[in-house]
Amino acid sequence: MPHINIRDLGRVRQISAVLARHGFGQLVRQAGLEFDGEPIDVKMPWARRLRLVLADLGPTFVKLGQVLSVRPDIVPREFIDELEMLQDNVPPAAFEDVRRILEEELGDSVEARFQTFETVPMASASIAQVHRAILADGTEVAVKVQRPGIEEKIRSDLHILYSLAHLAAGRLQIPGLYTPVGIVQEFEAAIHQELDFLQEARSLELFRANFKDHDQIVVPRVYRERTTRRVLVMELLRGEKLSQLRGHARRAGACMDKLIEATYLQVFEHGFFHGDPHPGNLLVLEDGRLGFLDFGITGRLTAEMQDVIVSLFIALVYEDAESIALSLYRAGATEGRVDLKGFKREIERLMVKYRGATLSDLSQSASLVEFIETASRYRIRLVPEYAVLARTGSILDGIARDLLPDVDIVREVRPYAQRLLGARLSADRLGGDALRLMQHAQIAVRDVPIQLNQLLTDLEGGVLTLRTVDPDASLLREEIRHAGIRVVLALFTAALMISGAILTAPWNPSPWGIPLWTFLGFFSAMAGLVFFFAVGTHYLLIAQIHPREWRRRFGAVWRFFFGKRPS
């Protein structure tokens, strides 16, 4: 377990105090930390209190909440609804600090690189802020600059998060399939991608290339010669946010058609999708085109993933619960046996909510995320791309609900399902699938003689080992061991008590005037009585007695004081 650095102790105390102030004092104590005062009993729901904690702890933790808000496979829906409300309420950095980063990254003064550069940012967030500028040729651009010192702060907070996660492991029960350490690992992977603006630039360029022939979708151009790891210079798009079309049904309907078409192309043709298409990242340009912004969160889909999503999409539109359940089961990794019948019943229950309903009829919580949550409850672990895609679909569902509440969403997407089904059953696709199947069969048949020879060679050489696994065998061995301990203690108790009775029965003179035999008999009887109580205690409290855990804790204490484990 990683230790907490001395320089981090102040921050750890601050985190503990904030947790306690919002009613998480008991959890802090379970994690082995201390704080001043007593835990506060707060009546607010857990999810809301967690959002307030993250907001109080600053940019790293706000970003943690934002990253988790697009991962329904990690956190439950009620937490996602709260985490979505987290906003980067961060005052802008001083322009002198921004100037220093620009000149370090671009290797020249701001005046030499830009004709004008506005000192007041257009937007300010936890990781970066965006300034409007004009290049020497008169092109208007948006310059995204990483906040000064943010990498060092995130690195320090990540170390603290890992330390706290290791402390919480085994002491706090986290819902879902992830451990506290696993959650921090997912966050670290996401935050490192967002800190690298070159990665965002590559995503922008790929997205722009994918839509180069689509005249209704606009993606900002990246100016590579002025883009570095901490500075991203891109074309400035002017327009209004998609959410501002509320109440304008005709314009909103046209934009939703473009958004659905763009989503279809991203998922089913390009295999690369925008992972956070909330209204703030979607602009309606003056000519009606739809612009995409902020590519910090994206997802990539392999051909196999696309096949799974096609199957899920078609099954969902045509209300085939069994196909949905089997597709999700085959797409994920499982922990233990899965109740497929129960899983299918849950899928059917969810589909009833969508059947023939308009968006206004559905509850605010009804979304594709529920299918991911159901899979998690049945211990089916899906790859992160599926979870991010489900959350993307949920965001688009929320936009449609806001702009066009009387639309039947299933009816709207049915033509896309028919298009996919037609493509899947086309002669070219069926022919290609048949060829791949024949190729795989040929390889399998060709390898059979080699594998059979290897099997016979291993059998002849005595290196082939057959092993059976019984999940209840360890429990049986543990029970037999406990029973053996009780039998030995019982026999030892009986022997001591019998010997005590024999030694105390006769009255014989003792040497030096001391009744030695009587004393030994009395001592044996008392020892037998003690062992009798030990047998009873072992029988009654065996579920609470964990010798290995005791040894582990003793070893930890010993290493703390003496530096190495006792032999």
Residues labelled catalytic? 276
Of 195, 193, 261, 243, nearest to 412 by C-alpha is: 261
- How many Å apart are CA 124 and CA 97, to the nearest integer? 14
Chain mean position to CA 380: 14
The owner of tokens 């996401």 is 190
The owner of tokens 């589909």 is 351
CB atoms within 10 A of CB 38: 8
Q: Which residues of 50-71 are buried (b: 16+ CB within 10 A; e: fewer)?
A: bbbbbbbbbbbbbbbbbbbbbb
Query: Which three-class secondary structure string do you get for 60-91?
Result: HHHHHHHHHCCCCCCCCHHHHHHHCCCCCCCC
10 Å CB burial of residue 97 (0-12, 13-18, 19+) is middle
CB 43 within 8 A of CB 167: no
Residue 211, phi then psi, degrees to nearest 5: -110, 20
- How many Å apart are CA 34 and CA 17, to the nearest integer? 9
CB atoms within 10 A of CB 24: 22
Neighbouring-strand partners of residue 130? 123, 144
In this structure, what token pair is assigned to residue 156? 């320090």
CB 105 within 8 A of CB 230: yes
Of 3, 28, 4, nearest to 16 by C-alpha is: 28
